[in-house]
Structure 1
Amino acid sequence: MSRIEAVNEDTFTACMEQLQEGYVASVAATAGCAVENVRRDIYGMDALLVRPAEDPGKQEVSVFAQLKNTTTTLPDASKETFSYQLKKRKYFERLALKRKSPKAILIVMATSFRQADWTRASHDRLEISHCCYWVSLEGQTAKEGVQSPSVSIPTANIFDSNALTNILDRLDRGESLNE
């Protein structure tokens, strides 16, 4: 018997993706950014987050994001990192690629296996009961022959509006996200 408690087994994975897209869109809106969903997963990226330039004479700053949502990984905030296994090596390779611009990040959401627990509403808020974490894999390598590489994600890298603003500020200054 499956541990997953889905409202509808046929749509559970699609709903996980939708939940994460809503989380990322909410964070981007709070940070003053736009989210452009990548409709065709040709490049392994799911979204482009774009912040307009403060000065009309300057260029906007953006970052690609690959979105992953899992019910099998539950990060422990008392530990420095958690491990997430990508299903395909090509996902890792696209994220590890040294890009000129835009750079790319992995955003992983750890979601409850019980769909009814994903959100809670009250008169003054809608709470998403789970968290997204981000990491830059640029320049990293996976062991030869490993088809489903695992990556280490810092639990301090909570993806929120402050994190997104910091990521885009660093990219705007030409700084690495791996420092």
Structure 2
Amino acid sequence: MMTRQDRQEVLSLAYVHAVAAMCGMTHSARAKDHGIDLTLHEIVRDRGRFTESGMALELQLKSTTSVAETKTDIGYDLSIRAYDILRAEIGQVRLLVVFVLPASENEWLRQTRAKLELRKCAYWVSLRGRSAVKNRSSVRIPIPKRQIFTPDAIRAIIERKKRGEELT
């Protein structure tokens, strides 16, 4: 049997895969994790064929049942290694995606004949260009609650990237 943490990780992948599918994007996982778990690839129609556009989002996925929550943000404690990887100013868009599950494992997934419900919610944030920190082990990342990882959000991120806009 998988550990609780392993189940959380697999459910976070399922969440991201479902959102990517609704965007019409493909995904690829890394053979070895060096700080990026998954890449989403935009698919476009070119001369009657579907192909990758070259536009991609690199994701570091995290899942948790515990966040520091305020009225406007969730706070996630991210390792300094992951923070430094995600804040690097590189060509691709890199996002931290945090999937927040209910505390009780019995509430993570609900299924009826009408629907499959994966609970609760995933949020995204770009750390690009953030300053180095003096912390040695982790840094708390505030993620605006309005930044829910949805198909519309992913489409908007791609469009902003195409226009050369920075994500905040």
Scaled by the length of structure 2, what TM-score is found?
0.90
Which position in structure 1 is the counterpart of 2:64? Answer: 70
Which digits, 9 at most, give the CA deviation of each residue in 1:27-85, with x for residues without a partner?
0000100111223112x010001111343598331010000001121645xx2212110
C-alpha separation in 1, matches of 2:107 and 2:4: 13
Shift of 1:156: 0.2
**SS in structure 1 of the partner of residue 138 of structure 2:** coil
C-alpha separation in 1, matches of 2:114 and 2:45: 31
Equivalent of 2:146 in 153, 156, 174: 156
Contact 2:111-2:117 at 8 Å conserved across structures: yes
C-alpha separation in 2, matches of 1:58 and 1:70: 32
Equivalent of 1:61 in 49, 55, 58: 55
Letter in 2 for 1:168: I
Which position in structure 2 is the counterpart of 1:117? Answer: 107
Shift of 1:105: 0.3
**SS in structure 1 of the partner of residue 81 of structure 2:** helix
Gaps of 5+ in 2: none
Letter in 1 for 2:53: Q
**Identity rate of aligned residues, in percent?**
30
C-alpha separation in 1, matches of 2:100 and 2:28: 22
Relative to structure 1, the CA distance from residue 162 to residue 24 in structure 2 (aligned partners, 3 Å threshold; closer, same or farther) is: same
C-alpha separation in 2, matches of 1:28 and 1:126: 17
Relative to structure 1, the CA distance from residue 40 to residue 12 in structure 2 (aligned partners, 3 Å threshold; closer, same or farther) is: same
Matched, 1:17 2:5: no
Q: How many residues align?
A: 165
- Say which structure, 1 or 2, has more relative contact order (CA 8 Å, 6+ apart): 1
More strand by share: 2
Letter in 2 for 1:84: Y
Equivalent of 1:90 in 61, 74, 81: 81
Relative to structure 1, the CA distance from residue 120 to residue 176 in structure 2 (aligned partners, 3 Å threshold; closer, same or farther) is: same
Relative to structure 1, the CA distance from residue 58 to residue 26 in structure 2 (aligned partners, 3 Å threshold; closer, same or farther) is: closer
Relative to structure 1, the CA distance from residue 106 to residue 58 in structure 2 (aligned partners, 3 Å threshold; closer, same or farther) is: closer
Relative to structure 1, the CA distance from residue 58 to residue 148 in structure 2 (aligned partners, 3 Å threshold; closer, same or farther) is: closer
Which position in structure 2 is the counterpart of 1:37? Answer: 29
Matched, 1:143 2:133: yes
Shift of 1:147: 2.2
C-alpha separation in 2, matches of 1:21 and 1:161: 15
Which digits, 9 at most, give the CA deviation of each residue in 1:77-125, with x for residues without a partner?
xx22121101x2110000000111x220000011123222111112221
Relative to structure 1, the CA distance from residue 152 to residue 30 in structure 2 (aligned partners, 3 Å threshold; closer, same or farther) is: same
